[in-house]
Amino acid sequence: MISSNKQHSHSGQETKRFLPAGGHGLVVNFDDTQLRPGESKGNTDLATRKARALAGLIQEAAKDGKLSGIVDLIPGLTNLLVQYDPLLITAKHLQTTITPWLDHLSEDSGKSRHIRIPCCYGGEFGPDLEGIADQLNLSADEIVERHVASSLEVAIMGFLPGLAYMKGVDEALYLPRRKTPRAMVPALTLGIAMDQTVVYPMPSPGGWNLIGRIPIELFDPGKDNPVLLRPGDKIKFYQIDIKKYNDIYKSYHEGQFVVEIS
Amino acid sequence: MTVDAITMIRSGPYTSVQDRGRAGHQAVGVPESGALDRVALRLVNALVGNPADKAGLEICLGGVQIAFQASRRVALTGSVAATMVITDHLGHDITVYANRSIRVHAGQTIHINGLSGTNTVFLAISGGIGTPPLYGSRATSPNAMIGGLKGRLLKDGDVLPLCPDVAFPDTAKGYADKMLSDLTVYDASSSLRVVFGPQDDRFTDQAKAVFLSSTYQVSPLLNRMGMRLDGPVLEHCDNADIASDGIVNGSVQVPGDGKPIILLADHQTTGGYTKIATVIQADLPMLARRKPGDSITFTAISVEDAEQAARDHEALLCHAIETMVAPPPMNAIASPCPSDDKSD
C-alpha cells in the first residue's frame, strides 16, 4: 500500500541508487529527496514516472535480446524492482548496463492512455460518503463533484490483480484510511484515502473510505488481457445513477459496453 | 470426450494446484504465486516424466485422499521421510516412499497422511493437472482468487481434470519408474542465508545485530503469503513506512511492530513496509519445509555469494535429475488392467 508518510532523508544517511533484494532482485531508487536530502518532495511523481520509463527501456532491451534473465519488472512509488534470474545475469552486470540509461529517462512517455470510468456514488455502493462529508465539512454532492473533477494517474498497482493506486484526488478530499479496516469490501467498490483512489477488483478486506461502485471489471480472467489498467494510465471518473449503473453492468457483462480509452 | 480426472475424497486443510507460477505480470498486481518448494516441483515432475512446467498438488499438513479415475504415474517429494499409501481395488495397501515414482491405476486411491519432517510436500501426476491456465500458469493464488480450481484451495469432493498423459521418455533406458539416487539437494543448512537490504539502513545497528544473532520461531500464523516469526523485535531508526516498492520471494518485511515476516510465493506485489533483508533464492525451498514452532536463524552474505549459491544449487538439482535410477519393483499393487501399462 502506498504510504501516506513522506519520503524521509534518514538522519543524513544517504539512500543509494541501487538496493539489493537478495541475489534475485535489484531495486533502482529514483527518490531524489533520499538521493539528495533537502530537495522538495514535489518530485515524487516525476521519480515514479522515471522508474516506469526505465521499466520500458529494460523491457525493450530484453525483447531485443540485449538483456537476458529479466524475470519481472515491478514499478513502485519512486522506484523500480527488477527481478532477475541469477543463473542468467548478475546484479553487477544489470547495474553496469542500465546506469548510462538513467540520465536520459523521459519523465513522461507521452504515450499515456486516457480512460473514462463510470461510477455510481453514495447509497449502498458508497457507505462512507455521508460520514466523510461530515468529516470534510463538505456536502456529499460536493465530494462527488470534486472526485469526478480530479485528474488521476495510476501511480503503481498491487495488493490484488488489477488494483491500481490512482493519485491526484482533490486536496479537499484528503483523508486517512479508516482506523479499522472492513473485513470484506464488495468487488468494484471505489475508495479514497490520502491523495488516492482505489477500486477493489474483487471482494477483499479493505480500509479505504468507500464512496461508490463501478459497473465494469478491472480484472476479468476470461479476457485475453485480463487487467484493464496499467501504471501511467490517466483516469477520470464520471457519475452515473443506479439505473444507468445497472444498464452498463448488464451491457458490460454481455460483452457490449466498451470502456472509453483514448 | 471424457477427460481423465482425479477426485479429492479428502482435500486436506491447505492443498492447492501449483506450478512454476506466473512471474511477469506483477506490474499490474498479479502475484507470481507457484510452488513454495521449487526444488520439489522440479524433482517430482522429472520423476513422473513431466516437463518442468506441469502443475501438481502442493500439500501442506497432509490429510489427503485422492481417487484416480485414470491410470497415471505419480511421485511425492519435499522431504526424505514423506510417504503415501496406495490402496488397490482389492483393498490392499502399499506404502510408497517419497522420491520415487510409481504407476497408479484407475480405481485406486492414494492417502497422504500427516507429514513428518516437513510442512509441505508436492505430488506430481504424469501429464499434470489440467485446470484452466491464466497467463500460462495454473498456480493457485487464493487471496487473488486466481488459478487452480476456481482460484481457491481444494475442497473435499473436488474433481480435477488431468492433461493428456506424457509418453514416458526413458523407456529406452529400460525403466519407467524412477528414483532419486542423490538427495544432497535436500541438505539444508542450519541457517537461512540472507542479503541485507533493500531497507536495512532504516534499522538501528543494534537491530541488525539482533537479527543475525537471534533464534526465531515460525509462528502458527503461516500461510502461502508469509511466514511470521516469533522472537526479538527489530527496532527501526524512525518508522516502518517506505515509498511502496516491489517485493521478491524471501523479502523479510518488518512492519511497525518490529516482528519480521518472510514473504512467500503469494505475497502482494508491492508493499509500503521496510524490508531488512532478503532470503536468497537457493534457500527459499527450505522455507516450505519449516513448520510452526521450528527454529530459524539468519546468516548474512553478499549479493555475489547469493548469486553463486543459486548457480551451485542449480547444479545440485540438475545432478539429482540426471542421476535418477530405476527403483526396486513394487509388485504388491494389483493392476486391474495389466495391458494399460503398454504406454511404458
Output the 3-class SS for B279-343. ECHHHHHHHHHCCCCCEECEEECCHHHHHHHHHHHHHHHHHHHHCCECCCCCCCCCCCCHHHHHH
Contact B263, B249 (CB under 8 A): yes
Query: Quick one: pLDDT at residue B133?
Result: 96
Query: Quick one: pLDDT at residue A65?
Result: 94
In angstroms, the Cα distances linking B130 to A111, B4, B124, B139 are: 39, 9, 12, 11
Q: Which residues contact B242 (CB under 8 A, 6 or more apart)?
A: A3, B199, B202, B272, B273, B274
Round the average pLDDT of chain B to a whole number and report it: 91
Residue A136 has pLDDT above 50, yes or no: yes
Query: Quick one: pLDDT at residue A13?
Result: 43
Residue A107 has pLDDT above 90, yes or no: no
Residue to mutate among A70, A74, A96, A198, with most B CBs inside 10 A, is A74
Q: Which residues contact B94 (CB under 8 A, 6 or more apart)?
A: B85, B86, B88, B330, B332, B333
Query: Quick one: pLDDT at residue A181?
Result: 87
Q: Measure in Å the smallest separation between the Cα of A173 and chain B Cα atoms.
A: 21
SS3 B252: strand
DSSP per-residue letters across chain A: ---SSPPP-BTTBPPPSEEE-TTSEEEEE--HHHHSTTS-GGGHHHHHHHHHHHHHHHHHHHHTTSS--EEEEEE-SSEEEEEE-TTT--HHHHHHHHGGGGGG--S--S---EEEEEEEESGGG-TTHHHHHHHHTS-HHHHHHHHHH--EEEEEE-SSTT-EEEE---GGG--PPPSS-EEEE-TTEEEEETTEEEE-SSSEEE-SEEEEE-SS-SB-TTSSS-B---TT-EEEEEE--HHHHHHHHHHHHTT----EE-
Question: How many Cβ contacts (< 8 angstroms) between chains A and B?
Answer: 182
Q: Which residues of chain A have a CB within 8 Å of the CB of B196?
A: 20
Query: Quick one: pLDDT at residue A214?
Result: 98
Q: Which residues of chain B have a CB within 8 Å of the CB of A87?
A: 310-311, 314
SS3 B209: helix
C-alpha cell at A67: 538483456
pTM metric for this prediction:
0.91
Query: Quick one: pLDDT at residue A36?
Result: 46
Q: Measure in Å the smallest separation between the Cα of B242 and chain A Cα atoms.
A: 6
Query: Quick one: pLDDT at residue B29?
Result: 95
Residue A69 has pLDDT above 90, yes or no: yes
> pLDDT digit string (tens) for B240-274?
888 899 999 999 999 999 999 999 999 999 998 99
Q: Which one has a higher pLDDT value, B339 or B134?
A: B134
Contact A173, A142 (CB under 8 A): no
Of all residues in chain B, the one with the smallest CA distance to A44 is: B243
| Inter-chain residue contact B281 with A24, CB threshold 8 Å | yes
Using CB atoms, which residue from B144, B197, B239 is nearest to A161? B144
Per-residue pLDDT band at A40 (split at 50, 70, 90)? very low
Q: Which one has a higher pLDDT value, A179 or A135?
A: A135
Contact A213, A120 (CB under 8 A): yes
Per-residue pLDDT band at A9 (split at 50, 70, 90)? very low
Give, rounded to a whole angstrom, the gap between the first and last alpha carbons of chain A.
28
Q: Which residues of chain A have a CB within 8 Å of the CB of B266?
A: none
C-alpha cell at B158: 473436488
Amino acid at A110: G
DSSP per-residue letters across B144-205: TTBSTBTTB---TT-EEEBPPPPPPTTGGGT-SS-B-S--GGGPPPSSEEEEE-SSGGGB-H
Q: Measure in Å the smallest separation between the Cα of B96 and chain A Cα atoms.
A: 34
| Inter-chain residue contact B306 with A24, CB threshold 8 Å | yes
Taking the alpha carbons of A6, A10, A11, A14 in that order, is the dihedral positive or negative?
negative
Amino acid at A163: L
Q: Which residues of chain B have a CB within 8 Å of the CB of A15?
A: 201
State mean pLDDT over B135-148: 95
Residue B292 has pLDDT above 80, yes or no: yes
Query: Quick one: pLDDT at residue A94?
Result: 97
Q: Measure in Å the smallest separation between the Cα of B240 and chain A Cα atoms.
A: 10
ipTM over 0.90: yes
Q: Which residues of chain A have a CB within 8 Å of the CB of B24?
A: 71-72
Closest to B29 (Cα-Cα) out of A45, A181, A214, A156 = A156
Using CB atoms, which residue from B25, B196, B243 is nearest to A78? B243
Could you say which residues from 266 to 305 on chain B have a Cβ atom under 8 Å away from some Cβ of chain A? 268-272, 275, 278-281, 303-305
Say if B202 is an interface residue toward chain A (CB within 8 Å): yes
Say if A226 is an interface residue toward chain B (CB within 8 Å): yes
Rounded CA separation B104/A29 (Å): 53
Q: Give the helix/strand (H/E) hosting B230.
A: strand B226-230
Per-residue pLDDT band at A10 (split at 50, 70, 90)? very low
State mean pLDDT over A129-148: 96
Contact B228, B261 (CB under 8 A): yes
